Amino acid sequence: MFVNDCLNTNEKGHLTIGGCDTVELAKEYGTPLYVLDETTIRNTIRSYVSSFNKFYDGNGMPLYASKALSCKELCRIAKEENIGLDVVSGGEIYTALQAGFPMEKVHFHGNNKTEDEIRFALKSKVGKFVVDNLYELELLNKIAGEMNIKADISFRIKPGVDAHTHNFIRTGQIDSKFGFALETGEAFEAVKEALKLDNVCLKELHCHIGSQIFDIEPFVTAAEIMIDFMAKIKSELGAVISELNLGGGFGIMYTSDDEPVPYENYMDKVSVAVKAKCAEHGLPVPFIYIEPGRSVVGEAGITLYTVGGKKEIPNVRTYVSIDGGMTDNIRYALYQSAYTVVNASKADKPADEIVTIAGKCCESGDLVQEHTKVADVQVGDILAVLSTGAYNYSMASNYNRIPRPAIVMVKDGKSRVIVKRESYEDIVRNDV
C-alpha cells in the first residue's frame, strides 16, 4: 500500500513504521520528528554487500555517502555492517571519529578542502583523499610532506556522462564544479603530475555522475570510460591503478511515479561492462567502490508533523500549516522535489483532499508539497512525509531560529532517540 516497505497501517488506522505507531511516536517525542527504520537501512547495506560478493567475488566495498545523513549512529551502523564511509568535510570526519569508525575505510571528498581540513584528515588517518583539482593535489603533497606521511589518493574525474536528473544534482558532465575533465586532457595531465610527487600515492580513480538516477546506462557508460582511461594511463605512463570508485546516485521512490532499479540489476550490468572492458585492455579487474547515500537512508526515513491550521482560499488552494517546513526539509523549496504525504492519523482513509503543505517560516516559498492528495486533514492530525531519510536532516537549518528536530530510530516495534531535538539554549549557544 505504501511506497516504503517499513510502513503499514494498524488497527487504529494509524500509520506505522518499523512496527511503531507514528501517532504515538509524535506524542512521545514531539513533532516535527524524523523517524528512521533500522531494518530498512541495514537490509539496504546488506543488499549492496551481497551484490559485491555475487558480481565481483567480494572484490569491492560500498562506502556510505554520509552527506545523505551524517550522525554518530549512522557511522556506527556502517561500521557494524563492515562498509566504508564517504565524507566531505571536517565535520563529517569528526562525526566518524567520534563514532569510533575505522578511519582507513574513510574516503575524503570535496572540491575545496581547506588546509585545516587536510591536516585534520591526515592526522585522523583518513584512508583516501579524493583529490578534486591541481591546487589541492599540490597542497596535499606539501602538507603530507611536512607531516611525514604518504597520502593515498584518488582523482575525481568528470567522465562527461550526462545523467538524467535535476540540474543541481548532476555532476558528471564537463560543466561541473567537481573534478578533472577527461575531454580536455586535464585529467591525464593531473595523473602525470601526481606520479611525480613524493608524498601522495595515486591508487584510485573516482567518478560520480549525479544523484536520484534511474537509468542503468549512464552508469555503464561512465564505468567503461573510466576503464578506458585506466588503460591509457597504463599504456602511456606505465602506471597501474588498482581501484575504481563508481560513485553513488541510485534513485529511490518518493512517489508511486518513481520506479527504482533493484541495485542487483545495476551491479550486474556494470560488473559485466567492467569485466569486458578490462579483458579488452588486458587490465586486472580493479577493486570497486560505490558510494550510495540517498538509497541507504532515504526510504528508511519519514518526517512527522502536527497540523496547526488550515486556510481554504476559495478557487485558489487550501494551505495546511505544519510545525516544521523548509528548516527540516528544504528539498521542495530547492528542487521542487516530489514527496508522498500521508495523514498518519487516518492512514486507512482514502487520500482524497487536495492541499498544499506549508511550513512555519517567514517565507512564501516555505512549502513541503503543493496540490498533494491527503486524507481529510484536520487541525491536530499528524502528517507524515515519506522518504525523508536522506538530505533532510543533513540539509536542515535554524532559519527563524527554529530548533532542528530529533531523530528517532525504530526497529521491531521499539524506538530510541539517536539525535536529540535542539533546544532554545542550543540556538543561542554560540552567541556572544
Question: Which residues lie near ligand LLP (CB under 6 A)?
Answer: 65, 67-68, 86, 109, 169, 208, 211-212, 247-250, 291-295, 331, 390-391
- The minimum distance between CB 328 and ligand LLP, in angstroms, equals 13
- The minimum distance between CB 69 and ligand LLP, in angstroms, equals 10
- Active site includes 20? no
Catalytic residue among 6, 71, 207, 362: 362
Chain centroid to Cα 401, Å, comes to 26
Q: Which is nearer to ligand LLP, 94 or 214 (CB)?
A: 214
CB 276 within 8 A of CB 48: no
Q: Which is nearer to ligand LLP, 29 or 391 (CB)?
A: 391
Give CA separation, 213 vs 156, 258, 266, 271, 348, in Å: 19, 10, 11, 18, 32
Distance between CA 34 and CA 18 in Å, rounded? 13
Instruction: Write the CB contacts of 373 (distance below 8 Å, at least 6 apart in sequence).
Output: 351, 352, 353, 354
> What value, to the nearest 5°, has the Cα angle with vertex 190 and ends 186 and 194?
175
Side chain identity at 241, as an amino acid letter?
A: I
- The minimum distance between CB 295 and ligand LLP, in angstroms, equals 6
Q: What are the backbone dihedrals phi and psi of residue 20, each rounded to the nearest 5 degrees, phi first?
A: -105, 140
Pairing of strands 243-245, 353-358: unpaired
Distance between CA 55 and CA 95 in Å, rounded? 32
Distance between CA 31 and CA 383 in Å, rounded? 10
Give the CA radius of gyration of the chain.
23
| Burial profile 205-241: b = 16 or more Cβ within 10 angstroms, e = fewer | bbbbbbbbbbebebbbbbbbbbbebbbebeeeeeeeb
Distance between CA 155 and CA 167 in Å, rounded? 23
Mapping DSSP onto H, E and C, the string for 304-315 reads EEEEEEEEEECC
- The minimum distance between CB 387 and ligand LLP, in angstroms, equals 11
- The minimum distance between CB 210 and ligand LLP, in angstroms, equals 7
- The minimum distance between CB 309 and ligand LLP, in angstroms, equals 28
Q: Which is nearer to ligand LLP, 248 or 405 (CB)?
A: 248
Neighbours of 114 (CB within 10 A): 13
Q: Which is nearer to ligand LLP, 114 or 235 (CB)?
A: 114
Q: Which is nearer to ligand LLP, 211 or 306 (CB)?
A: 211
Task: Tell me how far apart the terminal alpha carbons of the chain are, to the nearest angstrom.
Answer: 51
- The minimum distance between CB 218 and ligand LLP, in angstroms, equals 13
CB 190 within 8 A of CB 215: no
Q: Which is nearer to ligand LLP, 292 or 403 (CB)?
A: 292
- The minimum distance between CB 148 and ligand LLP, in angstroms, equals 29
Give CA separation, 100 vs 74, 105, 106, 324, in Å: 12, 12, 12, 32
> What value, to the nearest 5°, has the Cα angle with vertex 232 and ends 227 and 233?
95
Distance between CA 421 and CA 408 in Å, rounded? 10
Instruction: Supply the residues annotated as catalytic.
Output: 362
